[in-house]
Amino acid sequence: MTVIGLTGGIASGKSTVTALLKEKGAVIIDADKIAREIMSKGEPAWFEVLNYFGDEILNDDRSDIDRKKLAHIVFSDKAKLEVLNNITHPKIIEEIKRQVEEYKKAGKKIIVIDAALLIETGLDKIADEVWVVAANEDIQLQRLMAREKDITKDEALKRIKSQMPLAEKLKFADRVIDNNSSIEETKKQVDKMWTKIS
């Protein structure tokens, strides 16, 4: 049984790599999905987030948090990002740990935690191995802007800069997947790594 902590900057290719690992039989714990769930309407984080950021972060029919509005606020203001992190991270960490235990009990052999903030949240400590998906900042920016059509270059850069630099992340890496070239090249690296762990 191996717990892999898969990390990398925004749009570095984590989802692309986890999709390949899933095809091979790994189970995936997606931190972004958990973050959305713990902040959905009526959940404790929903109330805490609204309490601090106010109703203006709601969408027009007030049925949900407008993630674009919230992103605009927190990625332009370090202190506010820290408040959001302080509200959400303990809950995300708790849920990820719960899922890891559940999968272990179910006898799953390879468990992957897909989290951009794996190291920042200390979740690397519950992983047997840390894998870093590496993409240079210009590639990250290019792919992020192609994926999120309505994000401005300034917003994209702010989000990239709000994260731990790749060079720092690499210090924690047991394995590195270079995702600067084609998906085919990335797949070859993942295939090789899979044979080593399975």
Ligand X SMILES: Nc1ncnc2c1ncn2[C@@H]1O[C@H](COP(=O)(O)OP(=O)(O)OP(=O)(O)O)[C@@H](O)[C@H]1O
Residue numbers belonging to the annotated binding site for ATP: 11-16
Edge to edge, the sheet with strand 2-7 lists 27-30, 110-114, 2-7, 129-134, 175-178
Told to check if 45 binds ligand COD by CB under 6 A, we report no
Nearer to ligand COD, 159 or 169 (CB): 159
Told to check if 2 binds ligand COD by CB under 6 A, we report no
Residue 186 contacts which entry, ligand X, ligand COD, none (Cβ below 5-8 A, type-dependent): ligand X
Q: Which of residues 124-163 bind ligand COD (CB under 6 A)?
A: 159, 162-163
The interface mask with ligand X, positions 174-193, x = CB under 6 A, is -----x--xx--x-------
- Minimum Å distance from CB 47 to ligand X? 26
Told to check if 158 binds ligand X by CB under 6 A, we report no
Binding site residues, ligand COD, CB under 6 A: 10, 31-32, 35, 39, 67, 70-71, 74, 81, 84-85, 88, 92, 115-117, 159, 162-163
Binding site residues, ligand X, CB under 6 A: 8, 10-16, 32, 116, 143, 147, 179, 182-183, 186
